[in-house]
Structure 1
Amino acid sequence: MEEPQRRIRAVYAASTITVYQAYSPDIGLPAVREGRFPAMWKRDRMTWIKPSFLWMMYRCGWATKAGQETVLAVEIARDGFEWALRNACLSSYVRGVHPDRATWQRQLKSVPTRIQWDPERDLHLQPLPHRSLQLGLSGEAARRYADEWTVTIRDMTPLAHEIHTLVRSGNLDSAARLLPQERPYPAADELLTHLRP
């Protein structure tokens, strides 16, 4: 069956969804140890969360890029994630979704969440024809993410390195078996209707 152009795919349970971020060890390791983001994590800056593991690998270069050496799986409350979707605006102007560019710019300034759709990636980190969600959280959304929605934080760096080693050796089947099992996220269509033409 053909993948829709835009769909939220994620690891999720009854009440939580897993998103990924990558940080330097001085932020990532205390976050894993304490199960929450440390005080030095800036709650007043925009932070981008990604439900796609392979998109995170593309962004952080399999946890090799400077400042992104620690990959975190952040399990957050689904009701928080869905609040973020309901209070979101697209990160770029789209004719048919917004009446005009000025209206979009006003909306962008007034909402705490931004949505961006980027090409999903394969094991070689090459773009696929369908797109994956990135969610930018600022202001109230960033604070809620760090201090209310977060349930657990796990270090995915060893898994990222293991999969990368398998990909480099050409063992794609074994690499694929280790990937987090992402599924289409339920109810996402209703949550995103205000962002479609």
Structure 2
Amino acid sequence: MKPEHEIRADYDRDTLVVYQAYSRNIAVPALAHGRFVEPFSFQRMTWIKPSFLWLMHRSQWAQKSGQEHILAIRITRRGWEQALASAVLSVYSAQAHRSKPEWADAFAKAPVHVQWDPERNIRGAALPHGSIQVGISRDLIRDYNENWIVEIRDLTPLVAKMRDLIRRGEVQAASRHLPPEKPYPVTSALGRHLLLGTS
């Protein structure tokens, strides 16, 4: 049985893939430049997710307004772990903080927010373990954009193909295109304040 809180991702020795969904006017320039450029906003928090299926649920398989383009963004593990080390949970947990006031103060100052939502299967049903969402504030977003990003790929055609297969009832065929997500290793010190490994 999987822990309730566990990061699962497509990663190698140096990099990790996160997913974001955007409208055409943000996605197309990002793909052309290999970085985000205007009209992408550098003044608001951006949320990155290592779970492909959670983003499919969120974006309705690239059919939700403003989320028609699915991007796979390969970032450095160094940047990812910097984000985790700087993060505070978006809701209070007695396991991570001694008191609500302590948590509220840390949350207000944190450059990164983390929330856990139910992971999803390929049909969109909620699973009994969590999927991590990492919100990067405007204090770190330029570092993310300029120093963490290694590559941006357009998964929109693949998502459309998978969506069509699922509609036709060919779920097993669609599943063959899922990315190879596996548990991401974290130190106990890094994971404790984000509930990683807990149930």
TM-score range, shorter chain: over 0.9
TM score, norm. by length of structure 2: 0.94
How far does residue 157 in structure 1 lie from its aligned partner after superposition? 0.7
Q: Distance in 2 between matches of 1:21 and 1:188?
A: 26
Is 1:57 aligned to residue 50 of structure 2?
A: no
Aligned CA distance change for structure 1 residues 188 and 169 (closer, same or farther; 3 Å): farther
Q: Distance in 1 between matches of 2:77 and 2:171?
A: 32
- Counting matched residue pairs gives 196
- Cα deviation code 1:47-99 (max 9, x no counterpart): 10000000000110000011000110000010000000000000111123222
How far does residue 190 in structure 1 lie from its aligned partner after superposition? 4.2
Q: Which residue of 1 aligns with 2:10?
A: 11
Q: Distance in 1 between matches of 2:123 and 2:187?
A: 28
The unaligned stretches of length 5 or more in structure 2 are none
Q: Which residue of 1 aligns with 2:86?
A: 87
1:68-83 equivalences under 5 Å are 68-83=67-82
How far does residue 189 in structure 1 lie from its aligned partner after superposition? 4.6
Q: Distance in 2 between matches of 1:25 and 1:45?
A: 19
The amino acid that maps onto 2:142 is R
Q: Which residue of 2 aligns with 1:104?
A: 103
Is 1:137 aligned to residue 136 of structure 2?
A: yes
TM score, norm. by length of structure 1: 0.95
- Cα deviation code 1:10-30 (max 9, x no counterpart): 001111100000000000011
1:33-48 equivalences under 5 Å are 33-48=32-47
Q: What RMSD in Å do the two structures reach over aligned CA positions?
A: 1.3
Q: Distance in 2 between matches of 1:66 and 1:173?
A: 27
Aligned CA distance change for structure 1 residues 15 and 56 (closer, same or farther; 3 Å): same
Is 1:24 aligned to residue 23 of structure 2?
A: yes
Q: Distance in 1 between matches of 2:173 and 2:40?
A: 35
- Cα deviation code 1:148-197 (max 9, x no counterpart): 10111011111111111111111111111111111111226542122338
Is 1:116 aligned to residue 115 of structure 2?
A: yes
Tell me, what secondary structure is at the counterpart of 1:83?
A: helix
Q: Distance in 1 between matches of 2:111 and 2:76?
A: 17
Give runs of ≥4 in structure 1 deviating > 4 Å: none
Q: Is the 8 A contact 1:43 1:146 kept in 2?
A: no
